[in-house]
C-alpha cells in the first residue's frame, strides 16, 4: 500500500490559536508540521503541506490542499493542534 500524507499546520496568519503570553499555538504547529514534512520527504513518502509560512488559509484552501493527493483510503491527513486546557480531566474506562 502506497500511503500519501498531508501535513496541516493548524491556525496561522490572523488566527493564532491558543495564546499564552508571547506563546502562540500557530508557531508551534508550524514547527511541528515543518519537521514532519521534512522527515516524510527524507523517507521518500509523498507529502504535501497545507501551509509552510504564517498565513491565513480559508477553509476551502485548506481542504483543497488536503484533497490534492486524492480522497482514497491511502491518504493520511495529519492536522497539528496544541490545545490549551486549564481544567483537569478525569477519564473512566
CATH number reported for the structural domain that contains residue 26 in this entry: 3.40.630.40
Give the number of domains in the chain. 1
Residue 93 lies in a domain: no
DSSP state of 15: B
Q: Check pLDDT > 70 for residue 93.
A: no
Contact 22, 14 (CB under 8 A): no
Residue 85 lies in a domain: no
What pLDDT was estimated at residue 86? Answer: 61
Contact 84, 18 (CB under 8 A): yes
Q: What is the pLDDT of residues 23-78, one digit of tens each?
A: 999 999 999 999 999 999 999 999 999 999 999 999 999 999 888 888 788 899 99
What pLDDT was estimated at residue 17? Answer: 93
What pLDDT was estimated at residue 68? Answer: 87
Residue 86 lies in a domain: no
Residue 47 lies in a domain: yes
**Which pairing describes strands 19-20 and 75-80: parallel, antiparallel, or unpaired?**
unpaired
Residue 22 lies in a domain: yes
Residue 60 lies in a domain: yes
Q: What is the pLDDT of residues 1-30, one digit of tens each?
A: 688 999 999 999 999 999 989 999 999 999
**Furthest-apart CA atoms within the chain: distance in Å:** 45
Domain residues for the domain of 44 are 4-80
Residue 30 lies in a domain: yes
Q: Give the integer Cα–Cα distance in Å for 11 and 15.
A: 5
Q: What is the pLDDT of residues 30-45, one digit of tens each?
A: 999 999 999 999 999 9
Residue 89 lies in a domain: no
Nearest in space to 72 (alpha carbons), one of 3, 19, 24: 3
Amino acid at each position: 500500500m502506497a500511503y500519501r500524507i498531508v501535513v496541516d499546520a493548524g491556525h496561522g496568519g490572523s488566527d493564532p490559536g491558543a495564546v499564552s503570553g508571547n506563546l502562540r499555538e500557530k508557531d508551534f504547529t508550524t514547527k511541528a508540521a515543518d519537521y514532519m514534512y521534512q522527515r516524510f520527504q527524507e523517507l521518500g513518502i509523498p507529502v504535501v503541506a497545507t501551509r509552510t509560512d504564517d498565513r491565513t488559509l480559508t477553509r476551502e484552501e485548506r481542504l483543497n490542499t488536503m484533497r490534492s493527493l486524492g480522497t482514497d483510503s491511502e491518504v493520511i491527513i495529519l492536522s497539528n493542534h496544541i490545545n490549551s486546557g486549564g481544567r483537569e480531566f478525569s477519564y473512566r474506562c
